[in-house]
């Protein structure tokens, strides 16, 4: 049996469904992210695991114990909130020790544990500070320490980084991952930032409109999206309107040009579908006769320099596609309006509705 | 170069004079109990009158009780409204403003009319008339004062709660294992410190000077004493009103000091 299980969980608010058919098994020590657009039910699901919302139907078990109706203060679950939610009237040390104090642990044990936690979050000298004396990033570290200090069975984080600026965000997310791995704590992390989810998770649950779209490792989610929602929500995706010309032989037609498709095509000949393709799979230049590569031509619309990559947008007639090139010094970039040929390997593209 | 803000100073001085001249007049008068010399005799007389001490102590007791009752009544109510029933907050705002609309004289007659008979359930008396004994009349007085001070106490607490994220703080405490008493006493009340203090001091200065309720419930309070004194002593009432004025100022000074001193707006403020 998995460590944390959600079985057929469903939540309605005044007869409108916020979450449905939610089935998830999380192994002990696993880091799972809920990823999806605003309003898709991530927070609601997390709050049901915490006990702040009761599922309309379904069951939640932690370590084999049915927790579905257990109140939050009896669940032994740690939670980190988007707004930090540190107690303003207490010092950092008192905040971190709060859970242990509630559990009536001896004072010297609390003191020792608080010190360990302060070291863990790299703020060893801030114990006597008050929350308002800390930066946002430091406050969120303290909130993390507070959630972990009483050794909860599961750690829940609801967009813990979204109130911080970009640089701190990246720094703190790897810190969260480091601490999570060091303690081996089972963790659920809610975010709408795909880069965040891809970079720190063992597995990702992609959600949309209250339902699970796909569950898988970041590698699977990015490279083998199973629904068009996942494909377009995670990462950039080019979608070309094409017609299936030979399903058996895996061929499509775009503006009279035949394109080879790597994956099997599950549509009938003549069906209007879309060819999906990641921007980083495209290259400038012709296919030079390689039958496993496809060619498209068009006029350059724009060239955007994004740092480590350069994004070129090309109007290929009826559709605009993005091409991401790694930034190299010897790169010769086309100019806007210039006519270019681009190519991509057949196995990198797939067909969807 | 910036022009000297002449008009600002003019209005400021005018305001100051308007405010302080009567006070100075009162002060001057209160020092003239002896012909041709300034003396503190009026203050001495006033403060050593045993009646003064009795009524002042009584009013202070009533004020402390009123503050306790108000806090016990208002903090849980306002907290629950913030946490679970935001839709009742407009109604609470309205109800707590009623004492501004309904004169104290109407309140006190209502109280007397209702509680000078036994409370009955199905015709059987369950609570004897509250006006029968001194002790139960004091209770009536305290609850009357609580109503009178609702606008101040409720508004302070409401502002204090507004200034903190009640829901998230509650949930953060809950998930760490805290039950309701812990949340209320360890998280909510400490963060309402300054709000409660300013509510309490306002309540205090109102109760100590209150006249109507105490007069009609015939309790030996400071307000009626002061009024009575005014009727047959020339100098002492002025000395006492200056003293109570000073007390009010001290109370306001404490509010100012604490709300400022609590630092960086982290503790929920009273105004
Ligand atoms: N207390 C509530 N009462 C009524 N409806 C609610 C309540 N909480 C959430 N909902 C609804 O449930 C749906 C899911 O909300 P939820 O907060 O879980 O979304 P989310 O994925 O966390 O979004 P975001 O990324 O914006 O935080 C939304 O349509 C929301 O309006
Ligand atoms: Mg959310």
Judged against a pLDDT cut of 90, whether residue B66 lies above it is answered with yes
pTM: 0.80
Could you give phi then psi for residue A114, rounded to 5 degrees?
-60, -40
Cα separations (Å) of A311 from A288, A305, B212, B243?
A: 23, 6, 79, 78
Residue ranges of domains in chain B: 42-258
Work out which ligand 1 atom sits closest to the CA atom of A11: 12
Cβ count within 10 A of residue B201: 24
Gap from CA of A38 to ligand 2 centroid (Å): 7
How far is the C-alpha of A274 from the C-alpha of A296, rounded, in Å? 15
Adjacent-strand bridge partners of A26: A4
Going by C-alpha positions, the residue among A237, A241, A213 that lies closest to residue A223 is A237
Adjacent-strand bridge partners of A204: A33, A216
Q: Binning pLDDT at 50, 70 and 90, where does residue B268 land?
A: very low
Residue of A nearest to B170 (CA): A85
Structural element, H or E, at residue A341:
strand A339-345
Judged against a pLDDT cut of 70, whether residue B267 lies above it is answered with no
Nearest CA to ligand 1 atom 19: A39
Task: Name the residue with tokens 């008009």.
Answer: B7
How far is the C-alpha of A269 from the C-alpha of B106, rounded, in Å? 88
Going by C-alpha positions, the residue among A29, A57, A32 that lies closest to residue A42 is A32
B176 with A77: Cβ contact below 8 A: no
Find out whether B190 and A91 touch, Cβ atoms under 8 Å.
Answer: no
Q: Report the pLDDT averaged over residues A287-299.
A: 85
Query: What residues of chain B lie within 8 A of the CB of A131, using their CB?
Result: 266
B92 touches chain A (CB under 8 A): no
What's the pLDDT score for residue B265? 42
Of A52-56, A151-155, B261-265, the one with minimum mean pLDDT is B261-265
Residues 6 or more apart whose Cβ sits within 8 Å of residue A271: A243, A244
B106 touches chain A (CB under 8 A): no
Q: Is beta strand A57-62 parallel, antiparallel or unpaired with respect to A31-35?
A: unpaired
Gap from CA of A313 to ligand 2 centroid (Å): 33
Summarize pLDDT for B82-110 with one digit per residue, the tens. Answer: 999 989 999 999 999 999 888 888 888 88
A77 touches chain B (CB under 8 A): yes
Mean pLDDT of chain B: 84
What's the pLDDT score for residue A256? 84
Q: Binning pLDDT at 50, 70 and 90, where does residue B270 land?
A: very low
Mean pLDDT of chain A: 91
Give B41 or A110, the one with higher predicted confidence: A110
Cβ count within 10 A of residue B144: 26
Q: Report the pLDDT averaged over residues B174-190.
A: 92
Nearest CA to ligand 1 atom 2: A13
Judged against a pLDDT cut of 70, whether residue B2 lies above it is answered with no
Q: How many CB pairs under 8 A join A and B?
A: 68
Going by C-alpha positions, the residue among A141, A142, A135, A144 that lies closest to residue A91 is A142
3-state secondary structure of A97: helix
What's the pLDDT score for residue A141? 92
Interior CA angle at A347 toward A345 and A351, to 5°? Answer: 110
How far is the C-alpha of B82 from the C-alpha of B92, rounded, in Å? 11
What's the pLDDT score for residue A43? 95
In angstroms, how far is the first alpha carbon of chain A from the final one?
37
How far is the C-alpha of A324 from the C-alpha of A309, rounded, in Å? 6
Q: Report the pLDDT averaged over residues A324-328.
A: 89
| Residue-wise DSSP of B49-116 | -HHHHHHHHHHHHHHHHHHHHHHHHHHHHHHHHHHT-GGGHHHHHHHHHHHHHS-HHHHHHHHHHHHT
Find out whether B45 and B260 touch, Cβ atoms under 8 Å.
Answer: no
Burial group, residue A80, by CB count within 10 angstroms (0-12, 13-18, 19+): buried
Q: Report the pLDDT averaged over residues A316-327.
A: 90
Find out whether A34 and A26 touch, Cβ atoms under 8 Å.
Answer: no
Q: Report the pLDDT averaged over residues B77-81.
A: 93
Of A73-77, A128-132, B132-136, B189-193, the one with minimum mean pLDDT is B132-136
Q: Is beta strand A31-35 parallel, antiparallel or unpaired with respect to A203-208?
A: parallel
Judged against a pLDDT cut of 50, whether residue A137 lies above it is answered with yes
What's the pLDDT score for residue B161? 93
Give B80 or B34, the one with higher predicted confidence: B80
Summarize pLDDT for B200-243 with one digit per residue, the tens. Answer: 988 988 898 888 888 887 788 888 888 888 788 778 878 888 88
What secondary structure letter does DSSP report for B102? S
Gap from CA of A19 to ligand 1 centroid (Å): 9
Summarize pLDDT for B31-55 with one digit per residue, the tens. Answer: 877 777 777 878 887 788 888 888 8
Query: What residues of chain B lie within 8 A of the CB of A76, using their CB?
Result: 177
Cα separations (Å) of A116 from A82, A184, B96, B176?
A: 24, 16, 49, 18
Gap from CA of A54 to ligand 2 centroid (Å): 16
The tokens of A126 are what? 């801030």
Query: What residues of chain B lie within 8 A of the CB of A99, using their CB?
Result: 176-177
The tokens of B225 are what? 């004493």
Judged against a pLDDT cut of 90, whether residue A352 lies above it is answered with no
Q: Report the pLDDT averaged over residues B16-39.
A: 83
What's the pLDDT score for residue A212? 93
Percent of chain A with pLDDT over 70: 100
Judged against a pLDDT cut of 80, whether residue A24 lies above it is answered with yes
Q: Which residues of A83-104 are buried (b: 16+ CB within 10 A; e: fewer)?
A: bbbbbbbbbbbbbbbbbbbbee
Query: What residues of chain B lie within 8 A of the CB of A113, using their CB?
Result: none
The fold of B42-258 is MetI-like fold (1.10.3720)
Cα separations (Å) of B102 from B74, B98, B108, B192, B215?
A: 20, 6, 11, 29, 18
Query: What residues of chain A lie within 8 A of the CB of B168, using their CB?
Result: 81, 83, 85
Going by C-alpha positions, the residue among A318, A317, A319, A316 that lies closest to residue A343 is A316
Cα separations (Å) of A335 from A307, A332, B10, B69?
A: 18, 10, 69, 77
**Ligand 1 lined by A48 (C-beta under 6 Å):** no
Q: Is the dihedral of CA B25, B26, B28, B29 positive or negative?
A: positive
B168 touches chain A (CB under 8 A): yes
Summarize pLDDT for B117-173 with one digit per residue, the tens. Answer: 887 788 777 778 877 787 888 888 899 999 999 999 999 999 999 988 899 999 999
Cα separations (Å) of B69 from A28, B98, B137, B233?
A: 51, 18, 16, 36
Work out which ligand 1 atom sits closest to the CA atom of A41: 18
What's the pLDDT score for residue B1? 53
Nearest to A85 among B172, B178, B190 (CB): B172
Residues 6 or more apart whose Cβ sits within 8 Å of residue A326: A308, A309, A310
3-state secondary structure of A254: strand
What secondary structure letter does DSSP report for B134? H
Judged against a pLDDT cut of 90, whether residue A12 lies above it is answered with yes
3-state secondary structure of A297: strand
Could you give phi then psi for residue A204, rounded to 5 degrees?
-125, 135
Structural element, H or E, at residue B153:
helix B134-162
| Residue-wise DSSP of A19-48 | EEEEEEEE-TT-EEEEE--TTSSHHHHHHH
Of the ligands numbered here, which is closest to the C-alpha atom of A193?
A: 1
Q: Report the pLDDT averaged over residues A78-92.
A: 93
């Amino acid at each position: 049996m998995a460590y944390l299980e959600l079985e057929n969980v469903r939540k309605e608010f005044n007869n409108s469904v916020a979450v449905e058919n939610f089935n998830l098994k999380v192994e002990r020590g696993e880091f799972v992210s809920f990823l999806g657009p605003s309003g898709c039910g991530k927070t609601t699901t997390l709050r049901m695991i915490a006990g702040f919302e009761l599922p309309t139907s379904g069951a939640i078990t932690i370590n084999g114990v049915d927790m579905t109706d257990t109140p939050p203060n009896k669940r032994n679950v740690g939670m980190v909130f988007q707004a930090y939610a540190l107690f303003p009237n207490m010092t950092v040390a008192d905040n971190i020790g709060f859970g242990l104090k509630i559990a009536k642990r001896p004072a010297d044990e609390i003191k020792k544990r608080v010190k360990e936690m302060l070291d863990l979050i790299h703020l060893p000298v801030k114990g006597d500070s008050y929350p308002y004396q800390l930066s946002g990033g430091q406050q969120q570290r303290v909130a993390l320490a507070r959630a972990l200090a009483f050794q909860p069975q599961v750690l829940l984080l609801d967009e813990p980084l979204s109130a911080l600026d970009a640089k701190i965000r990246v720094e703190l997310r790897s810190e969260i991952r480091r601490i999570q791995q060091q303690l081996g704590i089972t963790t659920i992390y809610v975010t709408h930032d795909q880069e965040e989810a891809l970079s720190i998770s063992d597995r990702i649950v992609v959600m949309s409109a209250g339902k699970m779209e796909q569950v898988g490792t970041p590698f699977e989610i990015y490279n083998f999206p199973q629904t068009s929602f996942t494909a377009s929500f995670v990462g950039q995706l080019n979608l070309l309107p094409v017609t299936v010309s030979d399903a058996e032989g895996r061929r499509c037609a775009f503006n009279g040009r035949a394109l080879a498709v790597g994956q099997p095509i599950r549509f009938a000949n003549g069906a209007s579908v879309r060819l999906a393709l990641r921007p980083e799979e495209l290259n400038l230049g012709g296919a030079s006769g390689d039958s496993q590569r496809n060619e498209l031509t068009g006029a350059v619309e724009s060239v955007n320099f994004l740092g480590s990559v350069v994004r070129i947008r090309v109007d290929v007639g009826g559709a605009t596609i993005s091409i991401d090139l790694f930034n190299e010094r010897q790169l010769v970039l086309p100019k806007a309006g210039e006519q270019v040929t681009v190519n991509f390997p057949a196995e990198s593209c797939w067909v969807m509705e | 170069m910036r022009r000297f803000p002449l008009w600002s100073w003019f209005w400021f001085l005018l305001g100051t004079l308007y405010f302080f001249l009567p006070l100075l007049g009162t002060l001057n008068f209160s020092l003239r109990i002896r012909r041709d010399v300034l003396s503190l005799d009026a203050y001495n007389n006033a403060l050593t009158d045993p009646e003064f001490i009795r009524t002042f102590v009584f009013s202070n007791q009533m004020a402390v009780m009123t503050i306790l009752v108000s806090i016990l009544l208002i903090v849980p109510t306002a907290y629950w409204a913030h946490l679970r029933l935001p839709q009742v907050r407009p109604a609470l705002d309205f109800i707590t403003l009623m004492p501004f609309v309904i004169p104290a004289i109407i309140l006190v007659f209502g109280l007397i009319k209702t509680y000078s008979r036994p409370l009955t359930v199905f015709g059987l008396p369950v609570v004897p008339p509250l006006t029968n004994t001194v002790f139960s009349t004091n209770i009536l007085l305290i609850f009357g004062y609580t109503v009178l001070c609702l606008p101040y106490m409720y508004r302070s607490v409401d502002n204090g709660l507004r200034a903190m994220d009640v829901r998230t703080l509650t949930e953060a405490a809950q998930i760490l294992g805290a039950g309701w008493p812990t949340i209320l006493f360890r998280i909510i009340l400490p963060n309402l410190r300054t709000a409660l203090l300013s509510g309490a001091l306002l309540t205090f200065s109102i109760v100590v000077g209150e006249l109507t309720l105490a007069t009609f419930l015939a309790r030996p309070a400071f307000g009626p004493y002061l009024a009575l004194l005014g009727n047959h002593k020339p100098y002492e009432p002025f000395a006492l009103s200056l003293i109570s004025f000073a007390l009010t100022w001290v109370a306001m000074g404490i509010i100012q000091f604490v709300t400022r001193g609590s630092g960086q707006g982290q503790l929920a403020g009273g105004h």
